[in-house]
Amino acid sequence: MSAENGQSMIRLEGVSKWFGDFQALKGVDLGVERREVVVVCGPSGSGKSTMIRCINRLEKHDRGRIVVDGIELSDDLRNIQEVRREVGMVFQQFNLFPHLTVLENVTLAPRQVRRWNKAKAKEKAMEHLHRVRIPEQAHKYPLQLSGGQQQRVAIARALAMEPKIMLFDEPTSALDPEMIKEVLDVIAELAESGMTMIVVTHEMGFARAVANRMVFMADGEIVEVGTPEHFFENPQEERTKQFLAQIL
Amino acid sequence: MATRIDTLEPVPAPERPPERRLSPREWARENLVGTPFDTVLTIVFALVVAWLVYRLGKFVLVDARWEIIERNITNLMVSRFPRDELWRVWAALLVLAPSLGFGAGSAAAARRREVAEGRAAAPPERASALRRAGPGLLLAAVLLWFAQSLQATFLTLVVGILGAGGYLLGRRLSLAGTRAALVVLAGIVVAYGLVTAFGGVGWEDWGGFMLTVFLAVGGILLAFPFGVLLALGRRSSLPAVRAVCVAYIELFRGVPLIAVLFMGAFMIGFLLPEGVDRPSLVTRALIALVLFTAAYVAEIVRGGLQGVPAGQVEAAQALGLSPVRITTRIVLPQALRNVIPGLVGQFISLFKDTSLVAIIGLTELLNVSRNITAQPDFLAQGLIVETLVFAAFVYWTGAYWMSRESQRLERRLGLGER
Amino acid sequence: MLRLVGQAVFLAAVAALLLFLLDNVVYNLRRLGIPTGFDYLDQSAGFAIPESDFRSSQSLLDALLVGVENTAKVSLLGIALATVLGVAVGVARLSTNWLVRRAAAAYVEAFRNVPVLIIIIFLWLGVFLRLPPIGRAVEILDVVVLSNRGLVVAWFDKTGSGAAFGVVALVGLLLAAAVWVWRTRRFDRTGQPHRRVLWACGVLLAVLAAGFFATGRPWTVATPERGALATTGGFRLSPEYAALLLGLTLYTASHIAEIVRGSILGVPRGQSEAANAVGLSGIQRLRHVVLPQAFRISIPPVANQYLNLVKNSSLGVAVSYYEVTKITQVSISQRAPAVQAILLLMGIYLVFSLSIAFVTNLVNRRLALRER
């Protein structure tokens, strides 16, 4: 099932998506290589979130093709499950399961989906909790934690399935300013470790430091793609310039 | 090597969304026979539903002997109300319809104003007037079918036209809330006067569906102010007031309505000092309904009060308003707007619950339905099925209609979804 | 200071009103020669209670106790049945199958908008009492006999000693529990699916079946035998009880169905998305993420419906089912003092209501989400 050497981990070809009569994605083409970190930015409503939500089928695309690690997303439920196991996702609103402890949140999917035994699931979970630097909170409930801690638990939960790809949907937008750094640090470490990632974010300093490639979206289209240097120093498109002028 | 896209192609022109219209066959596959389990479910349910529809249809159209309803339609509507005073009821309806229509029209106009000024969201969907009035029209049609009277049909048409006229007028004039409410209230008072005043018929002689509606409307109108006071009392900062209100609310919410009605029927006489005459049974039932409903209204209003942000009170305090002013000018207006759907729900409950007064012997709709099966012409023929189905239908259309309108209102106010 | 005076005045006013009413009651009762205390409860009832061993020479207090028992009988079974039906209909409301969804919606709209009293009376007068007389009773597979004397269902009949079988049943339960623990441990150790419910039930059934034959068949199934005037054998529900039970069940289930549907829809969408994103299957998502949270949302409103069902069981009075309200009504007509009888009746329901509220609060507190 794994991708051939050199083939893109994620490939989007002409992906379009409608909500009613509103077209959220207008024929998006994008390829992401193994170990590549792609940061997506753009004004709100530009289709960034919709795009990455299509990659693990939280939204169904209407036109075009999406291939993840050699598996094409179709209506076949087995393909969807296969892709979701390989793709971890972190949400803006954390979406931790409030009725389970932190440890249970992290071990639920490995135990139910990967069929690991309890000891292994727990051991791995603690590893990931160490990695996001909150092992001591393992037996608390999510709502007893701060936003930054919750988001780090959410990262650990996604990592627990040992995915090949991580998607981040505005992971710091719902956080108080003083907590943003602790989450970004964890994501940056993850990027250094060689994880293939797509990060939707407005944190431009972070993007500059971490991204291999920048993608700028507006009105459901990819307007500009380039290396961070190129993108920040010398943007080509008028819409990119405008956006950068507003945000920087 | 897969094609990697680094340069962007020219922006594709916006396409049309893919057609999602399904052929009947695809629709059936998606909604009825997707999996083997689905198929079995569909077959089982289709058989059961078909059988039920067949039985119900056969009963209503073929088997049922509706003569008992036809001959007693006046009985079912007003029961013991003197027949030669019936014109008063029609006159009251002719006054009520335009004033209630006027109120509804004013409310619609007010909503339009709010939408236009951007103070409220536009209605999510527009239902056709015919669809919205559907259950009411159905009820009127069925009643007239049983009445088989030209005069009643004509009068009902006039009532309907006057109601619609009132609605249009209300929308055109677009009066402020309190003034529109005054018009409605005036309509109700005049209608009541038309029935009772100048040698008219007091409510102790009302009956049938008329009594049902009277008890429900009178009950909620009288329970409302009482309930608001209880709710304010329950949120009072004075412990003694709070304790008394809590005790009252929990007591009446903890016992069944029929126990309260027994209290009204059998106990009220003992509570009065000597020399004071016991009020009529209708009055006592009404008192019981009000005492009972007030406790529920209080809890609904309390919910609304809690929904007013604390910042509102703080802002008013910062402006130096007195506590009474804060309550009446700032808190209550906001809270009451939010409790309208809850109050409508309570009214629907009360409308259905008025059937319980049959147990203490009032001749409202349900009791009439039972009594007429004992008439010599219809005795011991098992016609209770026909009469109860009729009564259930009347209640159903009323309650269903109101609950549908209340859901619309809830969506409009943006409540219930969070 | 002003606050204190205000409260004192308010309390004095309330107390004065209550005293005024009490004074009137006592005065009126004395004037009419009606006893003022609760001694009347020791008098003989003067009426018999159908479907019970109660004799008319027993005291009114005993009659009320029978009434409380009958209220509990119809309420508890009604709560159980309404919960099962309500959950089924509520889930059906969310089915992907169009027909199932619409049928469930039609059920809910039909029963929610009709007075429960009409449903109960209709079932009593229009259905159960109109069943054919005993001579032409409807028999379904020898298991159910329907006649206007009531509904008789085949039931277990004791033939031998139940003690030995009781021991077997206990052993079966222990074994099932052991298997449950074993499957859970195995799941923890290996990660293989535990299917502990299936295993435990299987073991229990197997032990019960084996024990049943080993102990010499201590029970037989008594099918109802139709006699000339009555049926013998089996478990009999009177038309009154059946009508009240079924009416309360159908009505309350329509309300519970809406609560169940609302609770499932009330679990935030992000929860389902997160469950999907970590790769849980549809059933796992329901079992581990959606249902536990929906269950918690539904507890207070469902408990409220249980409370309503208990209170609505008072409508037994309209179909002559002898629960507390009917007993109170009959005793008032038999010259028991109305004021005391009604106060007692309200007191009994208050005890019912407060105990349900108490249990709900306990459960709620245990299940509350832990927050900071």
Is the dihedral angle over the CA atoms B358, B363, B364, B370 positive or is it negative? positive
Residue A101, pLDDT score: 93
DSSP summary character for residue C193: -
The reply to whether residue B15 touches residue A23, judged by beta carbons under 8 angstroms, is yes
Place of tokens 């407060």: C354
Average pLDDT on B394-418 reads: 76
* Contact with chain C for residue A161, Cβ under 8 A: yes
Residue B137 pLDDT > 50: yes
The reply to whether residue A95 touches residue C372, judged by beta carbons under 8 angstroms, is no
Question: Is pLDDT larger for residue B12 or for residue B241?
Answer: B241
Residue B200 pLDDT > 80: no
Question: Is pLDDT larger for residue B194 or for residue A248?
Answer: B194
pLDDT in tens, C108-148: 999 999 999 999 999 998 888 888 877 777 777 777 788 87
The reply to whether residue A31 touches residue B2, judged by beta carbons under 8 angstroms, is yes
* Contact with chain A for residue B125, Cβ under 8 A: no
In chain C, what residues touch A85 (CB-CB under 8 Å)? Answer: 279
DSSP B360-382: TT--BHHHHHHHGGGSTTTTTS-
Residues sharing a CB contact under 8 Å with residue C166, sequence separation 6 or more, in sequence order: none
Residue C229, pLDDT score: 64
List C-alpha distances in Å: C281 to A166, B157, C268. Answer: 20, 59, 18
Q: Which of B115-124, B305-314, B327-336, C353-362 has the highest mean pLDDT?
A: C353-362
Residue numbers of A between 104 and 123 with CB closer than 8 Å to C: 108-109, 111-121
pLDDT in tens, C248-269: 999 999 999 999 999 999 899 9
Beta bridge partners of A199: A39, A168
Q: What CA–CA distance (Å, rounded) separates C112 from B283?
A: 28
pLDDT in tens, A145-203: 999 999 999 999 999 999 999 999 999 998 898 899 999 999 999 999 989 999 999 88
Residue B416, pLDDT score: 39
Q: Where are the beta strands (DSSP E) in chain A?
A: 10-19, 22-32, 37-41, 63-68, 71-72, 87-90, 165-169, 196-200, 213-218, 221-226
**Which helix H or strand E contains C226, and what residues bound it?**
strand C225-226
pTM, two decimals, is 0.86
With cut-offs at 50, 70 and 90, classify the pLDDT of residue C36.
confident
- Secondary structure (3-state) at A223: strand
Residue B417, pLDDT score: 36
Residue A1 pLDDT > 50: no
- Burial string for B143-161 (b: 16+ CB within 10 Å, else e) reads bbebbeeeebbebbeebbe
Inter-axis angle of helices A102-109 and A147-159, nearest 10: 20
Chains near C (3 or more Cβ pairs under 8 Å): A, B
Q: Are A82 and A89 in contact (CB under 8 A)?
A: no
Residue B37, pLDDT score: 81
With cut-offs at 50, 70 and 90, classify the pLDDT of residue B399.
very high
Nearest chain C residue to A83 by CA distance is: C279
CA distance A60 to chain B (A): 13
pLDDT in tens, A33-63: 999 999 999 888 888 999 999 998 999 888 8
With cut-offs at 50, 70 and 90, classify the pLDDT of residue C79.
very high
Residues sharing a CB contact under 8 Å with residue B351, sequence separation 6 or more, in sequence order: B212, B213, B216, B395, B398, B399, B402
Q: Which of A239-243, B37-41, B56-60, C270-274 has the highest mean pLDDT?
A: C270-274
Instruction: Output the average pLDDT for chain B.
Output: 83
Residue C227, pLDDT score: 67
Count of other CB atoms within 10 angstroms of residue B5: 17
With cut-offs at 50, 70 and 90, classify the pLDDT of residue B123.
low
Question: Is pLDDT larger for residue B112 or for residue B55?
Answer: B55
pLDDT in tens, A91-148: 999 999 999 999 999 999 999 888 888 889 999 999 999 999 999 999 999 999 999 9
List C-alpha distances in Å: C246 to B391, C72, C131, C255. Answer: 19, 15, 16, 14
Which two three-digit tokens encode residue B185?
A: 């209230």
In chain A, what residues touch B8 (CB-CB under 8 Å)? Answer: 29, 222-225
Residue B7 pLDDT > 50: no
Residue C277 pLDDT > 60: yes
* Contact with chain B for residue A212, Cβ under 8 A: no
Q: Are A44 and A201 in contact (CB under 8 A)?
A: no
pLDDT in tens, A66-95: 999 888 888 888 888 889 989 999 999 999
The reply to whether residue A26 touches residue B9, judged by beta carbons under 8 angstroms, is no
Residues sharing a CB contact under 8 Å with residue C308, sequence separation 6 or more, in sequence order: C252, C255
Q: Complex ipTM, two decimals? A: 0.90
Inter-axis angle of helices A118-131 and A147-159, nearest 10: 130
Q: What proportion of chain B, given as a percentage, has pLDDT over 90?
A: 20
Q: Are B343 and B357 in contact (CB under 8 A)?
A: no
Residue B418 pLDDT > 70: no
With cut-offs at 50, 70 and 90, classify the pLDDT of residue B8.
very low
Residues sharing a CB contact under 8 Å with residue B327, sequence separation 6 or more, in sequence order: B232
Partner residue opposite A63 with nearest CB, options B2, B9, B18: B18
Q: What CA–CA distance (Å, rounded) separates B107 from B405?
A: 13
Q: What proportion of chain C, given as a percentage, has pLDDT over 90?
A: 38
- Secondary structure (3-state) at B176: coil
